[in-house]
Amino acid sequence: MDPSIKNVEMKNKDRFLGFADVYDQTRPEMPEYPIEIITRYLNKKANIVVDLGCGSGLSTTAWKNHCNAIIGIEPSDDMFLAANKKSDKNISFKKAFAHETGLSSDYADVVICSQSFHWMNPALTLAEVNRILKSGGIFAAVDYDWPPVCKWEAELAHKQLFYKVSCLEEEHKDLKDDYIRWDKNKHLSNIKNSGYFRYQREIVFANRESCDAKRFIRMTLSQSGLQSIIKHKPDLIKSALDEYIETIQCVFAGETMEADFCYRMRLGIK
């Protein structure tokens, strides 16, 4: 393998060390809706589903009653350990990269990436998807937008904090050079241009979950860009983060409210 590709893999993998517990406890789970659509397009209950970049396994376990078996693929040590605790007779996990799953050819009815495809080399990953996916099978990349829809003051505070994060990444090249992230807006064109799929489309939907100040803050802390600065150069973000936490606590004022996560699913049918 090209050493530069291997270097990118390792950087992206290591970006998710140290906060698997926060991620697992606060990130949204895979909603029912995309599972329903994928099952409808498949025209049957999936036998085997493969979840690439499964993180702590939230998107993997969501399939438990919707397929006969699902395997989550995750390269990051901490995330894999968190996910592997969710194993049972129908759910298993494998520590591997998305483009080197080690799975058999024509293995899966469905391959999904939940909030993870942008961390993968699209050409290499889609080639592996094509190899392991059965004819007529479905690949889907499911992503949600930050922040969730709740109160505009909280949403604005989130946007301002991550504007600060992006500025720090530009100012401190060692932070930006710590990863490579592919453009989510190109997911559908990458699926189309791969030539592996006879039909492609994008589906937009929302899912509602309960949220309080603690969860909103911890969801923010589960984002890798912020975590990278906290781990490597915490003094650069401490003041902005403290102000953000105070703002969110004031906005929620001890209340729990409904928050809408806005999703985009890009899929291809082989």
pLDDT tens per residue, range 76-93: 999 899 999 999 999 999
Stated pTM of the model: 0.91
Give CA–CA dist 240/221, Å, rounded.
13
Burial profile 254-263: b = 16 or more Cβ within 10 angstroms, e = fewer: eeeeebebeb
What the block records as the tokens of 135 is 């004819």
The dihedrals phi and psi of 55, each to the nearest 5 degrees, come to 60, -130
- The three-point CA angle 153-142-133 to 5° equals 170
Mapped onto helix, strand or coil, the DSSP state of residue 256 is coil
pLDDT, tens digit, for every residue of 195-242?
999 999 999 999 999 999 999 999 999 998 898 899 889 999 999 999
Q: CA nearest 83: which of 48, 54, 110? A: 54
Output the pLDDT for position 180.
Answer: 83
Confirm if 13 and 75 have CB atoms less than 8 A apart: yes
The dihedrals phi and psi of 118, each to the nearest 5 degrees, come to -70, -10
Decide if pLDDT at 12 tops 60: no
pLDDT, tens digit, for every residue of 117-153?
999 999 999 999 999 999 999 999 999 999 999 999 9
